[in-house]
Amino acid sequence: MTERRLLLLNGPNLNLLGTRQPEIYGAGTLAEIVDRVRAVAAEHGLEIRAVQSNHEGELVDAIQAARADCAGIIINPAAYSHTSVAIADALAAVELPVAEVHLSNIARREAFRHHSYVSAVADTVISGAGPLGYEFAVRYLAERLAG
Ligand code: DQA
């Protein structure tokens, strides 16, 4: 592997973490999650490109751009998990290892959250571990890239 960079992609409304339904998503902010992800990635000699967007097309653009200079993708597609064929198609197209993260356990929530289009193209899905899920995702990708 030449690239030592992971794309960390967060979808709609995750910019509101900290104030958004903390009983479901916790009290931590997205900035805190990104800081932690960067620290864990650094332990593995990896750097992080962090992108958050509320717009489906921007998420697709970021995934496509990753093909050129990233070695893997950590994505919390948020609500687009349940609706977006475009994001799933982009992830399949770039052929990078993908770790899908959800702060909450989507299987334990409303029925409309039970299906994720992204899960069909993800290499691993971590759901319900809170911010720790992002840390698992970094370690998973680091190990995959090493071996
Ligand atoms: C989420 C779960 C989604 O169902 C929801 O739309 C989100 C966040 C999570 O991290 O638990 O915005 O992806």
CATH number at residue 82: 3.40.50.9100
Mutate to test the pocket of ligand 1, among 23, 80, 87, 103 (most ligand atoms within 8 A of CB): 103
pLDDT in tens, 36-74: 999 999 999 999 999 999 999 999 999 999 999 999 999
Is-catalytic flag, 25?
Answer: yes
pLDDT number for residue 69 = 97
What total number of domains does the chain contain?
1
Mean pLDDT of the chain: 97
Q: How far apart are CA 3 and CA 99, in angstroms?
A: 17
Q: How far apart are CA 25 and CA 147, in angstroms?
A: 33
126: which 2 tokens? 């971590």
Assessment of whether the complete model's pTM goes beyond 0.85: yes
What is the distance in A from the centroid of ligand 1 to the CA of 100?
11
What is the distance in A from the centroid of ligand 1 to the CA of 75?
11
pLDDT number for residue 3 = 82
Q: Give percent above pLDDT 70 in the chain.
A: 99
The residue segments making up the domain with residue 125 are 5-146
Confidence of residue 2 (pLDDT cuts 50, 70, 90): low
**What mean pLDDT comes out for the span 18-34?**
96
